[in-house]
Structure 1
Amino acid sequence: MDLDAEGVDGCLKLGELLAKLAEFQSAQFYYQQAIDRQPNTVTGYLKLGNIFLGQNRAEDAIAIYEKALNIHPNNSALLYQMALASRVNQNSEMADLYFGLAAEAQYQYETAIQFYHNILQTQLPTVEIYLRLGNCYQSLDQWFEAIQVYQIALRVFPNQVEFDLALISAWQSLGDTRIALQISELAVDRFPNQISVRFAKQSLLPILYDYSQEIAEYRQHFTEELVKLIEQTDLDNSEVKQQALTAIGTKTHFYLQYQGYDDLELQKQYGGFVHRIMKANYPEWTKPLLLPTLTANQKIKIGYISAHLTWHTVGLVFLGWLRDCDRSQFEIYCYYTGKETDLITNLFQLYSDQFYHIYGNLENIVEQISADQLHILVFLDVGMCPQITQIAGLRIAPIQCAAWGHPITTGLPTIDYFISAELLEPPRAQNHYSERLFCLPNLGINYAKPPLLEPQKTRYDFYLRKDTILYLSCQSLFKYLPDFDQILVAIAKQVKTAQFVFVAHWNAAITEKFQQRLKQSFAENNLNSKKYCTILPRLDKTDYLQLNRIADIGLDTIQFTGFLTTLDSLSCHLPIVTCEGEWMRSRQSAGILNRLGITETIAKNREDYIKIAIKLGLDVEWRLAIREKIKQNQWKLYEDKSCVPALENFYQQTIHNFNQISLIKGDFNN
């Protein structure tokens, strides 16, 4: 066997071979060598610990697993081996804990619940066990069971703020923001010095609104509480600044962008606050940086960071930037901060020169990025993951950019550029951003066309009536503001055989809330929502595309449109009705249709939207003509490589300007 003992893989293979030969001491040596060469390796720690465990040296095994868990706290294999070692060491309490943690890490929530309940019945309860038990119930969509756990925990630990925070989050997730707000107000009174409680109160927004006036009410609450939160947070106080760091790491203001308002000033307020918190905690990571020297033969180092380098809109949309990159000019670094991995994650790794998967540890991520000495760091999405927002509030590369994975200005003073696309932005779009706006040509993406599936399923397979005009509207339910109900009602009054099809939210309570709102809106107009509206369970990708194939018309949301969903629908030749709004997030589908040259279904306002939707429903010939036009022109949407050289030219020009004047200037759109 030809093994390279100098490399990590060689050390691991030698260790395995020696262990099979019962040469345990030599095997230990090579496993330790692997760890020394690559300190973040899971395999080395795991195999070394297993050697000790196999020799009944449980305490030595536990010591090894503990070291590894400090680096990889959620690794299910390490957690399970830790449980076995604890059992061998006759520590049943620790064994139950780690068996529960291992089950939770493997998404076996029912099993984890059994272990956690056993711990509560046989041992002294802890804050961690109650929180984990509640989290497992939440993961099973058993929200009221989770709430009951938190309420019991509050009686046991009345002075622990974590359970108030958990209750606030649970009630918000259930769609009952009023109760969440009441709990937050009581918690602020009980814990006046806890930033996390004030932050939880300030950031409370409904996932789904019952009526339009609610939007203004909660927006006012959000704005006023943000001002108070900023004023009351003394970042010169060491305890307060740490609390503030923890608070902003718990959630984002994700739902703010779905209200349909101009969020620039609020984003700048919050972005400035985040930056000050990060600077107070990590002053060494907020200083201006010099650009690493570039010699004639050196490549430009570009970093991409996201928690969504998976089968997710962000991962799917931006993968093409890496796939067709000019590797003779650029060196690609990827930093994946999410938990799950899949085929798309593997492709990001394949297209990277260096790929790091670091989950749950902000400091480790920042240290790695700093050590890599990038020229440019691109945040593919800011505003979806709280940890990414925290990191974006630092200065860890000389030039920092945000892409439109979350299509809203970051408001962060540490983000220099916002990368968007020409067809997605309105005139004078720079006024919507705190960053300098740069637009790529067309849609700005190099997206592979989804496979065109022949309809193998019929409407019957989805429990849909075959004698209807099927309007498919498959956006996330939180995108549907109450005003949209009236659009549906107006269409239903004219298209008597209309059937509006939606896809459920992952939380059944939100789906039920949406269903009840539709019921009321239709009833107010003497219509029965059950006749017109159907909410399907969540679908896998294949069924989702099949559904698009058998639908007649697609209805886009208005204040925050689809993007990937629109591309997928058009790949199935489905006519899409959309409305071109004021901000990029309300113009994405319009940009896609403009790229196709199909402007007939782009509405100027709500009234126009209704007219187009009705005409598509009643005029079969026109509907089929639009389908044919989509079919003929859809090649324009996919495999558009023009964005890649434009992006690379932007990187080169930005570095040139940085070197020239040490300030980032220059108009890259001309």
Structure 2
Amino acid sequence: MSEQLKVSLQDLLSASKNMKGQGRRSEAAELLIQAIEQNKTQRGALPRGVYGELCILFYELGRYEEALRWSGEGLAKLKKDFALTNMRGVLFRRLGRYEEALTCFREAGKLDPKSVMPLANAGNVYLDLQDGPRAVEVFTRVVRMMPKSSEYQRQLGTAYFHSGDFERARRFFDVARQLAPNEPLPWISVANALEELNQFEAALATLDQALERIGPNEDLLTSKLAAFRRNGRFDEAIAWLQQLVAATPGSALLHFQLGRTLARFDRPKANEYFARALALAPDDTDILTEYAESLDRTRGPEEPKNIAQAYELALRRLTLGGNLLPDARTLRNIVIRSADYAGAERVGTLEELGAYWARTNQEAALHHLMGQVETPEQRRKLVGWHRIWGQSVEKRAAQTPLQLPPAVIGRAKIRVGLMSSDLRHHPVAYFAAPLIAGYDRSRFEFYCFSWCTHPPDPIQQRLSEFADVFRVHPKISDRDAAQLIANDSLDVLFELGGSTDMNKIRTMAWRPAPRQASWLGYPHSAGLGTIDKILTDPFITPTDPALLIEKPFELAHSWVSFEQPGFGGMPDIDPRTPEEREGRITFGTMNNPYKYNPACIETWAAILREVPGSRFLFVRPEGAVPSFRANVERLFAMHGVEPDRINYIPVRGAHLQHYNAIDVALDTFPQTGGTTTCETLWMGVPVISLVGEAFFERLSYSNLNNAGLGDLCVNSREAYVAKAAEIARNTAWRTELRRTMRERLKSHPLGRPDIFVNDFQQAVLRWMEEPRP
């Protein structure tokens, strides 16, 4: 190589170093790539650390896939390079590819047996997986090698924390704090352990001591606020934050945290603070994601505008790249709400997201995968992910067992508990109300438990008058809620809320009642082995027992019933069909867009092609959002349906009257409607439903059969298209259905609460005869 070329290579390396020093990592990486590519053509000696430095730059930029590619190229040239092998494991870990990460760390450990780094990195993988016992084993070895390391002492404490041994975890956290008293993480870890040991005031005092010693550190501020929020002490959190914001108005962090805290109570105000935070830190991914989520969940007359802005922010976050997994739940929900399925693929695959959400205790996120499963294998993986979450919760609950009252023997009445924060003006209450109002008070006592943070509404007040006991505790921990329930000595407890807002599914992990079941709130097994049964009927019970974790608590007829699907006045059914009024058939849906998918839209388009001149109507607030309309119309156009055949009524809440604009409703699949199907039938509109094997694919199957309309259920997409076209042609039958549907319901189980109440009580009596779990 000539002297000039040698200088050129050195210049590139030097320039890269300077760029990195200026914080311009992307440009520094490009210069290193130039140096590597130039070196390939000149066959000179490249300094050994260049590939490692490039991987570090891409790692810091969050561009893990690129770093992984270059680490592979580097190892192809530098066989058995310790640093690159270890770095490759770190990259695999960041990408959630844990087995490959562990393989790399084992290999790095062989290359340098004296280094603690690969061992500690392997321990971090086990912490990611929340595999406490294996993490304890690894970090015990690490601490023996480096006993004066505060960080390794803290990680050993974290390993015990994930093992559910919170007292031992606290002791190691204390050692870490003594070794590094000016580092915030040991203080935070001590506080977290104290909170798990139900010592919240001591946890708060620990964080205050740390703030006094270290100062307004971001991690300490965030941890104290999270502790306030977890324990329902929002007023204190807001007051504290407002003082801090007034003192430091230029802090993006404080505006962001105030927005997060207000979001539960006042989303418009929260959005103002999020907007200020984003103006102060335009590329902060946390602010972008949380602001987008808050906008997406802000209701009112500005909802379409909020949805559109949330979508734009989500796209900005996707463009920034890096590790999307921590933001995946929010980003995916937002882009799917605008029918942007390509955007959803950028967030992650179903397998990647399901595994990640299971191991990071994001059980609510798993709900949104039901509408996207495609194969039998994915359906069973979904069950497994729920169980992974459930086992983690059970393990932690086992460390703080309840004080159970003595068993009651010979009580005259069976004591049944219903736990849900939705026993108010909410669809769960539509279906629970007939039971709470109509149970046999000579044989049963009903206790209701709500954790709702909203002021009581008239429906909650009405239900509280029917129940024997109605307890409302909006500011209570999961464990204390379990103890509260246990103190009432129930015989059976039904959980009705699932993982939705304000509900406490984790409470069931402490087994506050000897017999426990799920009903209504979640169309799938929750994942907890302490939930013994799930309420089903002969139609909704999955065809394969492996698709449920619990045993079926099967009623004789229907798993739900109603007198009308709502409270208050209901709109009248127009006796004329839309076809009669407009001269064309209108298909439509009012289901939530998270249940849509490309296969749904392709099938709906096939129906429109099969029925010339027909239209499709979306009755959803998203109908006023430009991105939703553009994406939906593009998808229909891909399958031969012009945009002018797609119509929208953008409305939330007062939607029932608009069923008068639909001739035939088309159910979503694989996740079908539930409440929506009941509303559709009440308004005299037939629903075509595709039946699958899993619980969430059989809700409409149950509703339709229990309304005497089982022939509207089919088992293939081809049959779905044919059935929709057949019903569209049968004008006389649809007209008759509109005229007679509400009376028809009264003669079938779906519209006969008396049958449901009797079936429920009989099933409870049979369960009481079984041995206790």
When normalised by structure 2's length, the TM-score is: 0.58
| Structure-2 separation of matches of 1:537 and 1:459 | 21
Residue of structure 2 in register with 1:15 after alignment: none
Q: 2:633 aligns with which of 516, 519, 538?
A: 519
Deviation at 1:366, TM superposition (A): 2.8
Deviations 1:215-247 (A, max 9, x none): 6952122145357x46xxxxxxxxxxxxxxxx7
Residue of structure 2 in register with 1:613 after alignment: 724
Contact 1:264 1:434 in 2 (8 A): no
2:336 corresponds to 1:222: no
2:462 corresponds to 1:347: yes
| Structure-2 separation of matches of 1:280 and 1:479 | 33
Q: 1:575 aligns with which of 674, 686, 696?
A: 686
Contact 2:386 2:527 in 1 (8 A): yes
2:384 corresponds to 1:260: no
Deviation at 1:149, TM superposition (A): 3.3
Q: 1:166 aligns with which of 270, 276, 290?
A: 290
Contact 2:536 2:555 in 1 (8 A): yes
Matched residue SS, 2:433: helix
TM alignment of 1:443-592, pairs within 5 A: 443-449=558-564, 453-454=571-572, 466-505=582-621, 511-525=625-639, 527-529=641-643, 531-540=644-653, 543-592=654-703
Amino acid at match of 2:572: E
Deviation at 1:616, TM superposition (A): 2.7
Pair 301,291 (structure 1): closer, same or farther in 2 beyond 3 Å = farther
Deviations 1:263-317 (A, max 9, x none): 4444444444444346436622379x6872222x432222111122222221111
| Structure-2 separation of matches of 1:225 and 1:205 | 14
Pair 570,368 (structure 1): closer, same or farther in 2 beyond 3 Å = same
Deviations 1:498-540 (A, max 9, x none): 22221224x789x5443222221233345432x2222222243
2:447 corresponds to 1:333: yes
Amino acid at match of 2:276: V
Contact 1:578 1:609 in 2 (8 A): yes
Amino acid at match of 1:379: E
TM alignment of 1:95-244, pairs within 5 A: 120=246, 127=253, 129-133=255-259, 148-152=275-279, 163=287, 166=290, 169=293, 174-175=310-311, 180=317, 185=322, 200=327, 205-207=332-334, 208=336, 210-211=340-341, 217-226=348-357, 229=359
Pair 164,622 (structure 1): closer, same or farther in 2 beyond 3 Å = closer
Contact 1:499 1:534 in 2 (8 A): yes
Residue of structure 2 in register with 1:391 after alignment: 507
Query: Where in structure 2 are there 5+ consecutive unaligned residues?
Result: 1-228, 298-309
Contact 1:302 1:332 in 2 (8 A): yes
Pair 70,483 (structure 1): closer, same or farther in 2 beyond 3 Å = closer
Q: 2:401 aligns with which of 281, 285, 288?
A: 285
Pair 454,350 (structure 1): closer, same or farther in 2 beyond 3 Å = same
Pair 452,172 (structure 1): closer, same or farther in 2 beyond 3 Å = closer
| Structure-1 separation of matches of 2:505 and 2:326 | 15
| Structure-2 separation of matches of 1:256 and 1:186 | 20
Pair 630,291 (structure 1): closer, same or farther in 2 beyond 3 Å = farther
| Structure-2 separation of matches of 1:144 and 1:71 | 23
| Structure-1 separation of matches of 2:396 and 2:281 | 32
Q: 1:604 aligns with which of 706, 715, 730?
A: 715
| Structure-1 separation of matches of 2:725 and 2:332 | 33
Deviation at 1:379, TM superposition (A): 0.5
| Structure-2 separation of matches of 1:457 and 1:615 | 21
Residue of structure 2 in register with 1:651 after alignment: 764
Contact 1:574 1:627 in 2 (8 A): yes
Residue of structure 2 in register with 1:111 after alignment: none
| Structure-2 separation of matches of 1:656 and 1:593 | 32
Deviation at 1:544, TM superposition (A): 2.5
Deviations 1:420-474 (A, max 9, x none): 122323444x3311111111122223411356643589999xxx99343222311
Moved more, 357-366 or 579-588: 357-366
When normalised by structure 1's length, the TM-score is: 0.66
Query: Where in structure 1 are there 5+ consecutive unaligned residues?
Result: 1-68, 83-93, 102-115, 188-197, 231-246, 665-670
| Structure-2 separation of matches of 1:335 and 1:181 | 41
RMSD across aligned positions (CA):
4.3
Contact 2:289 2:331 in 1 (8 A): no
Q: Give the number of the structure whose residues are more often helix, by fraction.
A: 2
2:554 corresponds to 1:439: yes
Deviation at 1:654, TM superposition (A): 2.7
Residue of structure 2 in register with 1:308 after alignment: 422
Amino acid at match of 2:599: D
Pair 389,631 (structure 1): closer, same or farther in 2 beyond 3 Å = closer
Residue of structure 2 in register with 1:593 after alignment: 704
Amino acid at match of 2:684: H
Give the length in aligned residue pairs.
516
Q: 1:379 aligns with which of 490, 495, 498?
A: 495
Contact 1:471 1:552 in 2 (8 A): yes
Deviations 1:361-412 (A, max 9, x none): 3254233213222222210132324752322333222221111321101121
Contact 1:444 1:643 in 2 (8 A): yes
Contact 1:331 1:353 in 2 (8 A): yes
Deviation at 1:73, TM superposition (A): 4.7
Residue of structure 2 in register with 1:422 after alignment: 538
Q: Percent identity?
A: 19
Contact 2:540 2:701 in 1 (8 A): yes
Contact 1:212 1:483 in 2 (8 A): no
| Structure-1 separation of matches of 2:637 and 2:352 | 31
Contact 1:279 1:285 in 2 (8 A): no
Matched residue SS, 2:671: coil
Contact 1:150 1:166 in 2 (8 A): no
| Structure-1 separation of matches of 2:381 and 2:610 | 41
Contact 1:477 1:514 in 2 (8 A): no
Larger radius of gyration: 2
| Structure-2 separation of matches of 1:302 and 1:577 | 36
Deviations 1:17-41 (A, max 9, x none): xxxxxxxxxxxxxxxxxxxxxxxxx
Pair 495,199 (structure 1): closer, same or farther in 2 beyond 3 Å = same
